């Protein structure tokens, strides 16, 4: 490193020029290749069996989540004004470019009204022209009330609300589309009517848009706070500016590379700048803190001597912390979720870029700009105060080492039990503030209708006409009714059974007792033939294939949380063997199911990344310090931090989801820095003095000083995220701040005591 530093000092201007050129090129790459990925389907691993099957089923039955527009009139919807709005709004939505077919828009104006007549089966609209008389409205009202396929599905039970379902083309949701639909729907508010826009495409799309946008707002605030705290800690405008550029340049290089190779910005990627702030600031604080101490202790040294000493003394710990931090993030490559893989890989690159800037950019900048004035002081009451108290703290830890260890064990047992309470939540809606319009409109639609979330149960047979078999249809009916009864979140189901029961009833003069599955397969076949001959819409083929070998049961849920989805899946799976006995295979498809699988993959990825990162960090530290014992000791702070972090999630009932799932890698990646710096300084002091008491005091005064400054800066920086408008960012800010605090405390207490008691670097007497 000595020769490299000499080259940097000799060619400081050229070094900075090259860095600026690469940074400008990275900015150009960001500007020309900027892309934000808002389609959450791209998060799913396409080669996973569950997603392959679901995609196949979705294509077969045209399974797409719908955007829902509800119209509420507290006086009731059966009036000319509201019906005119239902008709006009339906027609306007049908004209949107994202709507592939008019049949993709389902409302009271377009729905099939299956009725019986003297000629047999009759299928027509509920209305074409706006009714003018109360008699006509009453006729429609009665038709809706007695039509099980429309009642509660398109018209609420209290008859004050109706809903329009709109399927949009795949991958067509944008923020502009959401604004357009909201603007269109708002035009129909007034005269006693209120409109609401809800649905999974809007929730998922808005979430993917909001998180990066929210981080874009929060990043300058975090950066400003970091600058203020850095100035207070370093007491120098030059040192603060240089530290700030380390963070900014590493972020620019990272995004320039990521976008340059064609990878868009996903929601997790928006966290990278905040991560690099924590990591880059840590390196700069340790470098400048060491420089400050050397200036005070060696006032006769030249600028070149001080810079060479800074790089020589700090190269090893900065390199070690950067490598172990990068490994902590790279452990997330075991995840099956590609956006998390990208987050891991490019954050690791950013960490190494921050190391490069710390060891190359800082020496070159200090050489050209000069030593920061504040660092030229030969004495400081503040430093003397800190040094005195640091040594006193070290002695106190030594005196009370048994109490500290016992207290730590108790804390770990408490939070270890809390870890058992951690749960994964697939709900995208839960990530928005409770007062967000998406949350309130979704709650309204769920309260009035069958639900905004869909789980598709796919039933497959090998023989044609299987779903004309009464035994199979009756079992489907039983499964749907049982699921509705046992799982509170299920609002209702729609399947081929509903078509059969409806036709059987209307062809028997609307007698309620005939709302059942006929026992004669030939009769069922005749009903389907009648349906086609009567001009029934293609919506039948959304629930059964044209050869009647495969069926799709659509379960509507009043919420998208994992507990409700898991209960739904568990209830349906009870019927797997019964269907198998009838020659039918039961599987799942659709967004609700895919999100559950997605969350299972997150959990598996968490377990893998935790295990791999701990093992790799232990190996790296053992190699770096040439001691397995030190490798194990160095992981003590992150072990404690991980247990406390997940324990807090469990005790506070904070679910694990895509953002909070990254906590373990952050805890290991950033938290290990404190331990590495502390052990490295402990080693230097121990080998230099061979005096145990002097070593612990000097280490606490030197590294303890730097890591305490580092902890304060990072904790305050992440705490800013608690003012975010996005729940996962709030949780992330609070928990990462807690992680940094526990890593810091665990380093200067538990790990420090283990080093002392273990006689590391001292011969045993």
Cβ–Cβ under 8 Å, residues 715 and 740: yes
In the numeric block, the tokens 């009725």 are attached to 115
Q: What average pLDDT does the segment 425-447 reach? A: 83
SS3 629: helix
Instruction: Give the count of domains, the chain.
Output: 1
pLDDT at 379: 42
Cβ–Cβ under 8 Å, residues 303 and 370: yes
pLDDT at 671: 74
Give one DSSP letter per residue of 522-538, joined into a string. Answer: HHHHHHHHHHHHTT--G
pLDDT at 468: 96
pLDDT at 383: 46
pLDDT, tens digit (0-9, with 9 covering 90-100), for 84-103: 999 999 999 999 998 988 88
The average confidence (pLDDT) of the chain is 86
- Among residues 434, 533, 643, which one has the least CA distance to residue 122? 533
pLDDT at 151: 93
In this prediction the pTM is 0.79
pLDDT at 251: 92
pLDDT of residue 762 exceeding 80, the answer is no
| Residue 375 pLDDT class (50, 70, 90 cuts) | very low
pLDDT at 728: 74
pLDDT at 387: 64
Lowest mean pLDDT, pick from 23-37, 367-381, 430-444, 724-738: 367-381
In a domain, 224, yes or no: yes
pLDDT at 193: 95
pLDDT at 431: 77
**DSSP assigned state of 450:** S
| Residue 658 pLDDT class (50, 70, 90 cuts) | low
Give one DSSP letter per residue of 178-241, joined into a string. Answer: HHHHHHHHHTT-BTTEEEEEE-HHHHHHHHHHHHHHHHHHHHHHHHHHHHHHHHHHH--HHHHH
In a domain, 222, yes or no: yes
| Residue 377 pLDDT class (50, 70, 90 cuts) | very low
In a domain, 59, yes or no: no
Q: Which residues contact 208 (CB under 8 A, 6 or more apart)?
A: 36, 37, 38, 39, 40, 266, 267
pLDDT, tens digit (0-9, with 9 covering 90-100), for 75-86: 999 999 999 999
Lowest mean pLDDT, pick from 406-415, 506-515, 679-688: 679-688
pLDDT of residue 219 exceeding 80, the answer is no
Could you tell me the CATH number of the domain that includes residue 283?
A: 1.20.1640.10
- Among residues 394, 563, 382, 542, which one has the least CA distance to residue 458? 542
Residue 223's Cβ-side half-sphere holds a number of Cα atoms within 13 Å equal to 16
Token representation of residue 62 = 């045209």
Distance between start and end Cα atoms, the chain: 37
Lowest mean pLDDT, pick from 60-69, 211-220, 288-297, 708-717: 211-220
Cα 43–chain centre separation: 10
Cβ–Cβ under 8 Å, residues 531 and 503: yes
| Residue 621 pLDDT class (50, 70, 90 cuts) | confident
pLDDT at 625: 85
pLDDT at 381: 44
pLDDT of residue 35 exceeding 80, the answer is yes
Tell me how far CA of residue 394 lies from CA of 156, 567, 643, 756, in angstroms: 69, 53, 25, 10
Find the domain containing 346 and state its range: 2-39+205-420+596-757
CA distance 752 to 703: 12
pLDDT at 385: 56
pLDDT at 40: 66
CA distance 375 to 235: 8
Cβ–Cβ under 8 Å, residues 608 and 591: no
pLDDT, tens digit (0-9, with 9 covering 90-100), for 583-596: 999 999 988 888 78
CB-based burial label for 365 (10 Å; 0-12, 13-18, 19+): buried
Cβ–Cβ under 8 Å, residues 351 and 322: yes
pLDDT at 340: 83
In the numeric block, the tokens 């702030």 are attached to 277
Q: What average pLDDT does the segment 262-278 reach? A: 83
Q: Which residues contact 356 (CB under 8 A, 6 or more apart)?
A: none
pLDDT of residue 371 exceeding 90, the answer is no
- What percent of the chain is predicted at pLDDT more than 70? 95
Q: What average pLDDT does the segment 244-256 reach? A: 93
pLDDT top residue among 59 and 473? 473
In a domain, 562, yes or no: no
pLDDT at 136: 93
pLDDT at 165: 94
| Residue 351 pLDDT class (50, 70, 90 cuts) | very high
| Residue 502 pLDDT class (50, 70, 90 cuts) | very high
Lowest mean pLDDT, pick from 490-499, 548-557, 642-651: 642-651
In the numeric block, the tokens 């770096």 are attached to 624
| Residue 36 pLDDT class (50, 70, 90 cuts) | confident
pLDDT at 378: 40
pLDDT at 516: 95
pLDDT of residue 242 exceeding 60, the answer is yes
| Residue 542 pLDDT class (50, 70, 90 cuts) | very high
- Among residues 196, 161, 163, which one has the least CA distance to residue 78? 161
In a domain, 649, yes or no: yes
In a domain, 332, yes or no: yes
pLDDT of residue 337 exceeding 90, the answer is no
pLDDT at 763: 63
CA distance 326 to 324: 5
pLDDT at 38: 66
pLDDT of residue 162 exceeding 90, the answer is yes
Neighbours of 129 (CB within 10 A): 8
Neighbours of 407 (CB within 10 A): 13
pLDDT top residue among 383 and 442? 442
In the numeric block, the tokens 């994992």 are attached to 562
pLDDT at 426: 67
pLDDT at 373: 58
| Residue 609 pLDDT class (50, 70, 90 cuts) | confident
């Amino acid at each position: 490193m000595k020769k490299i530093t000499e080259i940097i000092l000799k060619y400081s201007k050229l070094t900075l020029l090259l860095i600026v050129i690469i940074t400008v090129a990275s900015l150009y790459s960001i500007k020309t290749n900027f892309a934000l990925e808002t389609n959450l389907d791209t998060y799913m691993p396409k080669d996973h069996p569950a997603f392959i099957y679901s995609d196949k089923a979705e294509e077969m039955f045209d399974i797409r989540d719908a955007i829902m527009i509800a119209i509420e009139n507290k006086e009731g919807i059966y009036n000319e004004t509201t019906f005119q709005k239902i008709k006009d709004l339906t027609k306007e939505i049908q004209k949107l470019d994202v709507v592939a077919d008019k049949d993709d828009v389902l409302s009271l104006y377009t729905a099939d009204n299956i009725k019986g007549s003297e000629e047999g089966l009759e299928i027509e609209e509920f209305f074409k022209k706006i009714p003018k008389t109360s008699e006509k409205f009453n006729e429609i009202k009665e038709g809706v009330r007695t039509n099980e396929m429309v009642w509660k599905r398109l018209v609420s039970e209290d008859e004050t609300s109706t809903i329009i379902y709109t399927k949009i083309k795949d991958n067509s949701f944008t923020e502009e589309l959401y604004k357009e639909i909201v603007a269109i729907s708002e035009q129909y508010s007034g005269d006693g009517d209120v409109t609401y826009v809800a649905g999974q495409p809007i929730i998922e799309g808005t979430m993917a848009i909001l998180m990066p946008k929210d981080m874009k707002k929060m990043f300058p605030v975090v950066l400003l706070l970091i600058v203020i705290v850095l100035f207070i800690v370093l007491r120098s405008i030059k040192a603060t500016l240089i530290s700030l550029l380390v963070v900014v340049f590493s972020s620019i290089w990272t995004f320039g590379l990521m976008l340059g190779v064609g990878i868009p910005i996903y929601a997790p990627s928006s966290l990278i700048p905040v991560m690099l702030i924590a990591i880059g600031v840590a390196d700069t604080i340790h470098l400048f803190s060491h420089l400050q101490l050397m200036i005070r202790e060696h006032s006769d040294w030249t600028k070149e001597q001080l810079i060479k000493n800074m790089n020589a003394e700090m190269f090893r710990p900065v390199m070690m912390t950067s490598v172990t931090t990068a490994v902590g993030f790279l452990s997330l490559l075991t995840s099956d979720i590609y956006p998390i893989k990208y987050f891991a890989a490019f954050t690791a690159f950013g960490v190494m870029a921050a190391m490069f800037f710390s060891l190359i950019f800082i020496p070159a900048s200090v050489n050209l700009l000069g030593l920061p004035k504040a660092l030229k002081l030969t004495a400081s009451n503040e430093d003397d105060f800190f040094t005195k108290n640091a040594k006193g703290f070290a002695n106190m830890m030594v005196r009370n080492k048994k109490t500290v260890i016992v207290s730590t064990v108790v804390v770990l047992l408490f939070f270890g039990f809390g870890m058992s309470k951690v749960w994964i939540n697939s709900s995208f809606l839960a990530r928005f503030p409770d007062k967000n319009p998406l949350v309130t409109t979704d709650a309204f639609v769920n309260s009035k209708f069958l639900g905004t979330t869909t789980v598709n149960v796919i039933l497959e047979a090998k023989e044609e006409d299987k779903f004309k078999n009464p035994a199979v249809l009756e079992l489907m009916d039983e499964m749907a009714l049982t699921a509705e009864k046992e799982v509170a979140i299920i609002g209702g189901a729609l399947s081929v059974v509903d078509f059969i029961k409806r036709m059987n009833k209307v062809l028997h003069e609307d007698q309620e007792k005939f709302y059942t599955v006929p026992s004669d397969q030939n009769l069922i076949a005749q009903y389907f033939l009648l349906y086609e001959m009567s001009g029934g819409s293609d919506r039948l083929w959304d629930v059964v294939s044209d050869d009647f070998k495969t069926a799709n049961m659509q379960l509507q849920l009043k919420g998208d949380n994992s507990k409700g989805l898991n209960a739904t899946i568990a209830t349906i799976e009870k019927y797997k063997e019964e269907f198998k006995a009838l020659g039918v295979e039961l599987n799942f498809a659709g967004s609700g199911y895919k999100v559950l699988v997605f969350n299972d993959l997150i959990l598996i990825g968490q377990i893998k990344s935790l295990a791999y990162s701990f093992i790799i960090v232990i190996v790296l530290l053992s190699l770096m310090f040439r001691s397995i014992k030190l490798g194990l000791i160095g992981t003590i702070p992150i072990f404690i931090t991980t247990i406390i972090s997940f324990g807090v999630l469990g005790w506070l009932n904070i679910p694990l989801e895509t953002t909070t799932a990254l906590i373990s890698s952050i805890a290991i990646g950033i938290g290990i820095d404190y331990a590495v710096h502390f052990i490295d300084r402990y080693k230097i002091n121990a080998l230099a003095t061979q005096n145990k008491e002097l070593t612990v005091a000097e280490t606490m005064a030197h590294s303890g000083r730097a890591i305490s400054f580092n902890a304060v800066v990072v904790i305050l920086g992440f705490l800013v995220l608690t003012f975010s408008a996005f729940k996962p960012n709030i949780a992330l800010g609070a928990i990462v701040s807690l992680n940094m605090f526990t890593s810091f405390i665990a380093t200067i207490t538990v790990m420090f005591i283990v080093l002392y008691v273990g006689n590391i670097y001292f011969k045993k007497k």
